[in-house]
Chain A
Amino acid sequence: MKRLTKKIIWFLLPVLLVWAGLEIFYRQVETNYTKKHELIQQNYKKAEILILGSSHSYYGLNPEYFSKNTYNFSNISQSLYFDELLLKKHLDSLQKLKAVVLTIGYFTLSQEDDGLEDRWRKYFYDQQMDLDVPSVSNLDPKKYSLALSRKFNRSVDLVVEYVAEGTIVSHYPNGYGIQDSSDIVANKEEIAHIIARKHENGSLDFKSNRERIERIIALCKAKGVHVFLVQMPAHPAYVEALNPNKWDKIGGLLEEVSDSSNQVHHIDLTRNPAFTENDLRDADHLTNEGAAKCSKLLSDYIDTYLEGN
């Protein structure tokens, strides 16, 4: 027994060393999560507009083009579940906040709280953004080891990226995601169909996410903060490939919610003619130029609404 135990330990020693190395890496190096957590605190006294949401807003709304002081607090694959947790945590500290922008995609309202895809992110929210994430159990070993929460090859890729570029943070200080021409997909129509299939989970059950939006609105209303529910521009092929009934149901729900209060506004840019194919980098994300256009448009909308009050 002792002989076998010794052999196993020797055999697994390299694995344990690599694991320890990766754990140190994740604990020492700045990530999107630690950086956003640090930046939101720096924005406590100045941010007037706060952008939440997924990659649609991360790559689609650049605070630089907003007339008011804006911070982009969205993140890749950030669901409403985390939008709510983040807002709850920071809302009271954001002293000048006037508006919250929440982007709603085709998949947002039917998204499960703890879906399989990108499950690793919840551990980073928990550990690196100081959130008390209810879906992370205290008995879950990944709560205590970020290296265990990510796939090994992704961690290695990040280490390589860090060595090559000196950082793995992929956004500007205003929270807007860094992208360039290499991210633009050549055949957008083809990718639109693939992404559409990926985003279709077949569910029309919006109950829990509707309640979540209503809770976000209630939080903001209590602080006198306006909520802008924005459907971002998307490729026509992507829009058409998805269930029209679901689109209608999403639009209907957002209209209904916005009608309930003059502090809630619904802006649907999905089929907005101002956005051409050149403004899109793929099926449902904007290029830097598209993001500039969208940000200016949204800024004007927000200014109009806020000044009207």
Chain B
Amino acid sequence: MLFNTIDFAIFLPIVLALYWMISGRSVRFRNIYLVIVSYIFYSFWDWRFLSLIFASSLVDYLVGKKLADSSSLLGRRTLLGISLVFNLGMLFTFKYFNFFVETFVDTFALFGTEFSYNSWQILLPVGISFYTFQTLSYTIDIYRKRIAPTNDIVAFFAFVSFFPQLVAGPIERASNLLTQFETRRAFDYQKSVSGLRLILGGLFKKMVIADNCAVFVNTIFEQYEMASGSTLFVGAVFFAFQIYGDFSGYSDIAIGSARLMGFDLMKNFNYPYLAQNMSDFWRRWHISLSTWFRDYVYIPLGGSRVSKTRLVLNILVVFLLSGLWHGANLTFVFWGLLHAVFVLPVLLFYKNHTVNFSKEKRLPTFREFLNIAGTFVVVVIAWVFFRAESIGDAFDYLKIVFSSSLFTMPNVSRGAVLLLMGYMVIEWVQRHQDHFLDVTNVSSRLLRYSLYFITLFCIFYYAGDVQPFIYFQF
């Protein structure tokens, strides 16, 4: 069930109505209800894969309990190992098995050794990368004694399967979300209104920006050999906005839906295309994943308090894994590698890479503008590898981009370019707000409602053809 469908528009109000109707009942009763509706939500894709969510929840719940009881280091390590092997094994089996076998066979073929193999015909369970990382963080945090295990199995099952963020995040931590399942939730008018704003804004990003960009992106990437460099560059820019609108729109709807039930999910995007360097970009893009890799891979490897050689290695490991997390394809690995290469100079040569915009200034300084534009161009180049069918295609695409035809008039819709520019202006104006439609700073009620209606009209009138959410494939 996609968030931008009529099915969800019917599902959510029914779920909410019943949820608040049973608000007088115990927390446990409401959590049971949430587990049931979350499993129903997931079963709209494929009910068979519910067994994986169930198994992952059960294994990590039991491992968490045992971890708290175990005092020996060996015992604790064994328990952590069980959780890692189970979750990563599941991920490997369903997502990476064919990729690794094919890469293995292709590599040996390069040296003249041929292996015959049959690829495994298996479906990728929706959201597997998200919920396995979420459950893993729970056991790792208990192992590190950062959190205590929960004794409430229902709360834990609800934490793993919570439908707004089950299939595409944000990847939550037990310290934030599980505790909310263990406490009583009361209806909060302001929180609900902010949730509705997020849903409206998220639908705009997905249906107006992402789905319209998708049409141009598909055409341009499918026939890139025939287009000019300028057209291909704009095509890559469109993809940058497609994936941003698609994923951040999804996250906004997820966070908004959760708020309507009284939950606070973590922020996943913070105006990433206003980033002033690549390190800044990763503090603004897919925050729940980048902080996951920071906390569970980068810092255990030593973080930045190591030699420069080790730092380079740590960054490479983190970004290669991040690339691989996105998909079982070398294009994603290369995309990760590129980001590592772009982030490294910032970490190695700039002492202060944390940047903030002044609240007083209406316009960015010339330096800030150049930083934003430069970072954006680098991000766009990397997106080409993310979108292309193969690394070879991506290089061929970029070869045309960086040819003399880059300086010709692009053959793209000017209306779409203007829409994106207009959207970026709105983001700049709203950069200190929670999200682009957070108009709590607008005192005029009439103006606020006018903005809501304009957004709603755009969603209905200018929505592109329905496209699946890109991040569902991860």
Contacts and interface: CB of A to CB of B under 8 A. Distances in A.
Interface of A: 1, 3-4, 8, 11, 14-15, 116, 141-142, 148, 151-153, 156, 197
Given A4-B192, A197-B222, A197-B223, A152 B460 contact: yes
B189 A152 contact: no
B6 A142 contact: yes
Summarize A's interface: helix, strand, loop or mixed: helix
A13 to B, nearest CB: 11
Summarize B's interface: helix, strand, loop or mixed: helix
A156 B456 contact: no
A263 to B, nearest CB: 39
A141 B461 contact: no
B313 interface: no
B192 to A, nearest CB: 5
B369 to A, nearest CB: 35
Contacts of A15: 456, 460
Contacts of A1: 20, 187
B196 A8 contact: yes
B452 interface: yes
Contacts of A153: 460-463
B442 interface: no
A141 B189 contact: no
Interface of B: 6-7, 10, 20, 187, 189, 192-193, 196, 222-223, 449, 452-453, 456, 460-463, 465-466
B463 A152 contact: yes
Contacts of B7: 141
Contacts of B453: 14
Contact of B189 (A3, A11, A14, A142): A3
Contacts of B466: 116
Contacts of B10: 141
Nearest to B9: A141
A4 B189 contact: yes
7 contacts: A1-B187, A4-B189, A11-B449, A11-B452, A116-B465, A152-B461, A197-B223
A162 B129 CA distance: 49
B6 A148 contact: yes
Contacts of A148: 6
Q: Which one of B7, B222, B460 has the highest number of Cβ atoms from chain A below 10 Å of its Cβ?
A: B460
A1 B193 CA distance: 11
B466 to A, nearest CB: 8
B193 A4 contact: yes
Nearest to A140: B7
Contacts of A11: 449, 452
A15 B457 CA distance: 9
Nearest to B192: A4
> Nearest 8 CB-CB pairs, A to B?
A152-B460, A153-B461, A141-B6, A1-B187, A148-B6, A4-B192, A1-B20, A152-B461
Nearest to B13: A8
A242 B149 CA distance: 60
B157 to A, nearest CB: 26
B231 to A, nearest CB: 14
B420 to A, nearest CB: 19
